């Protein structure tokens, strides 16, 4: 139970830091492969490659802490 609480705390700190500094990372959401559609009154953004990159980093991080 204690290990799970520590992991949840680390995850929450990571999410907090991401929300705090996320807009200051210039390449976040602007990688090649990210989808951006702009119309006159409509903008759609889906950071596909950014999501894949974050998923790979989190998978690596969790696999390191699993052992």
pLDDT along the chain (67 residues), means of 10: 87 84 75 89 89 90 80
pTM: 0.59
Q: Give residue for tokens 């705090």.
A: 20
User: Which structural domain, as residue segments, surrounds residue 45?
Assistant: 25-67
User: Is residue 59 one of the residues assigned to a domain?
Assistant: yes
User: Is residue 4 one of the residues assigned to a domain?
Assistant: no
User: Is residue 10 one of the residues assigned to a domain?
Assistant: no
Which residues, listed in sequence order, are joined to residue 44 by a DSSP beta bridge? 37
User: Is residue 15 one of the residues assigned to a domain?
Assistant: no
User: Is residue 6 one of the residues assigned to a domain?
Assistant: no
What total number of domains does the chain contain? Answer: 1
User: Is residue 38 one of the residues assigned to a domain?
Assistant: yes
pLDDT, residue 33, reads 87
For 37, the enclosing helix (H) or strand (E) is strand 35-38
pLDDT, residue 52, reads 92
């Amino acid at each position: 139970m204690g290990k799970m609480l520590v992991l949840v705390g680390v995850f929450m700190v990571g999410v907090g830091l991401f929300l705090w500094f996320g807009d200051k990372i210039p390449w976040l959401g602007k990688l090649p492969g990210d989808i951006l559609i702009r119309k006159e009154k409509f903008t759609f953004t889906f950071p596909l490659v950014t999501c894949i990159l974050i998923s790979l980093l989190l998978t690596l991080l969790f696999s390191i802490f699993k052992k």
